[in-house]
Amino acid sequence: MPFPTTFYNMRYFVPLFPLAALVLVRGWALATPALRRGLLIAHGIIGAALILVFNLEPMQRFAEPAIPELEVNWIGVPLSLLDNLRLRLHLEQKDLLEHVDRQVPPGATLYLIDFGYYRDAQHGVYEQAALIRPDITTRYVGSRDFQPDGGSFYVWSYAPRRPELERWGRVVDLGRFLYRVESPDEAAPAPDR
């Protein structure tokens, strides 16, 4: 329980469920049949609604204005207590990938800087799932040892502040942490989308 991100990782509460179950079973035994029936119906309706909202994109987008942020500032990046449910994060990532698809032309090199979730767990995931087109060459690099091959290229970074890219050419901010670096020797190809 003293782990600093316990609040953010619901799985850490799993050992508490048997203790909570003891209390719930005891209360259930003392409840009247009408109350039990009402609780079962309410539980079914609420459970079904939560499953639909947090698992289906149209339902998530429909309910999004009513879903509270529940953001917590802790020792790191501010996090939402509902991030465990992940669908909102998946939708945000889908929008980012669609932005990359629109902005990066065929044949370009895209450097993904600091995609280091559990070191290399993310590497190749987007490509294998065909979320980054096969006509884009992707390279996963760290910001500290970043050394592009030369020519114009694209950079997608998770870092909240823009990486230092000016030494390799003119930097064009394409939005959403995506940058085009135009080599002084050549012009970067324009996206055809």
3 pLDDT above the threshold of 70:
no
189 pLDDT above the threshold of 60:
no
- The whole-angstrom separation of Cα 145 and Cα 143 is 6
What's the mean pLDDT in 8-36?
86
- Torsional sign, CA 74, 80, 85, 91: negative
What b/e readout covers 48-65, taking b as 16+ CB neighbours within 10 angstroms?
A: eeeeebbeeeeebeeeee
**What pLDDT, on a 0 to 100 scale, did the predictor assign at position 188?**
46
Please state, rounded to an integer, the average pLDDT across all residues of the chain. 86
What's the mean pLDDT in 1-16?
69
Please report, rounded to a whole number, the percentage of residues in the chain having pLDDT higher than 90: 49
Q: How far is CA 75 from CA 3, 131, 160, in A?
A: 12, 32, 16
Q: Which of 99, 91, 180 is nearest to 132 (CA)?
A: 99
**What pLDDT, on a 0 to 100 scale, did the predictor assign at position 106?**
97
Question: pLDDT tens-digit profile of 119-144?
Answer: 888 889 999 999 999 999 999 998 88
Question: pLDDT tens-digit profile of 54-93?
Answer: 899 999 889 989 988 888 777 667 777 776 676 777 888 8
Q: What is residue 48's three-state secondary structure?
A: helix
177 pLDDT above the threshold of 50:
yes
Q: Is 63 within 8 Å of 50 (Cβ atoms)?
A: no
118 pLDDT above the threshold of 50:
yes
**What pLDDT, on a 0 to 100 scale, did the predictor assign at position 180?**
96
Q: What is the pTM of this model?
A: 0.69
**What pLDDT, on a 0 to 100 scale, did the predictor assign at position 183?**
87
15 pLDDT above the threshold of 70:
yes
Distance of CA 166 to the CA centre of its chain: 28
